[in-house]
Amino acid sequence: MSEFGVYVHVPFCRHRCDYCAFATFTDRDHLMERYSMALCTEVARAVEAGMPTATSIFVGGGTPTRLAPDLLASVIASIPRAADAEVTVECNPDDITAKLLSVYRSAGVNRLSFGVQSMVSHVLLSLGRTHDPANVERAVALARAAGFDSFNLDIIYGAHGETVADWRATVERVIALDLPHVSAYGLTVEAGTPLADRPEQYPDDDVQAEMYEVVDDLLTAAGLVNYEVSNWSRSGHECEHNRLYWKQGDYIGFGSASHSHRSGRRWWNVRTPDRFCDLIEAGKSAESSFELLDDEQRRIEGLQLAIRMREGVPVGSFSEHDLAVLDGLVAPAGDRLVLTRRGRLMANEVSLRLR
Domain ranges of the chain: 5-246, 296-351
Vertex 27: Cα angle to 24 and 33 (nearest 5): 85
pLDDT at 190: 87
Residue 9 in contact with residue 256, Cβ under 8 Å? yes
Cα 288 to Cα 83, 227, 258, 269, 270: the distances in Å are 32, 34, 10, 5, 5
Residue 307 in contact with residue 313, Cβ under 8 Å? yes
DSSP tag of 323: H
pLDDT at 244: 98
The torsion region of residue 96 among left (phi > 0), alpha (psi -120 to 50) and beta comes to beta
Calculate Rg over the CA atoms of the chain.
20
* Helix or strand (DSSP H, E) at 35: helix 32-48
Residues with Cβ within 8 Å of residue 270, at least 6 apart in sequence: 256, 257, 276, 279, 286, 287, 288
Residue 263 in contact with residue 250, Cβ under 8 Å? yes
CA dihedral 343, 346, 348, 354 (to 10 degrees): -40
Q: Buried (b) or exposed (e) across 70-84, using 16+ Cβ within 10 A? A: ebbbbbbebbebeee
Give me the tens of pLDDT residue by residue for the chain, a chain 355 residues long: 799 999 999 999 988 777 887 888 888 999 999 999 999 999 999 999 999 999 999 999 999 999 999 999 999 999 999 999 999 999 999 999 999 999 999 999 999 999 999 999 999 888 877 678 889 999 999 999 999 999 999 999 999 999 999 999 999 999 999 999 999 999 998 888 888 888 888 899 999 999 999 999 999 999 999 999 999 999 999 999 999 999 999 999 999 999 999 999 999 999 999 999 999 999 999 999 999 999 999 999 999 999 999 999 999 999 999 999 999 999 999 999 999 999 999 999 999 999 9
CA 252 to chain centre: 15
Residues with Cβ within 8 Å of residue 74, at least 6 apart in sequence: 36, 40
Cα 31 to Cα 21, 36, 111, 179: the distances in Å are 21, 8, 26, 35
pLDDT at 113: 98
pLDDT at 215: 98
* Helix or strand (DSSP H, E) at 85: strand 81-91
Query: Taken in order 172, 174, 175, 181, is the CA torsion positive or negative?
Result: negative
Residues with Cβ within 8 Å of residue 221, at least 6 apart in sequence: none
| E-strand stretches of 92-240 | 111-117, 151-157, 181-186, 225-228, 231-233
325 SS3 class: helix
pLDDT at 330: 97
pLDDT at 21: 75
Residue 17 in contact with residue 63, Cβ under 8 Å? no
Say how many C-beta atoms besides its own lie within 10 A of residue 311's C-beta: 14
Which CATH superfamily groups domain 5-246? Aldolase class I (3.20.20.70)
**Long-range contacts, stretch 281-288, CB < 8 angstroms, 24+ apart:** 281/38, 281/41, 286/42, 286/256
* Helix or strand (DSSP H, E) at 169: helix 164-176
Residues with Cβ within 8 Å of residue 165, at least 6 apart in sequence: none
pLDDT at 22: 83
Say how many C-beta atoms besides its own lie within 10 A of residue 236's C-beta: 8
pLDDT at 193: 85
| Beta strands at 181-186 and 313-314: parallel, antiparallel or unpaired | unpaired
pLDDT at 14: 86
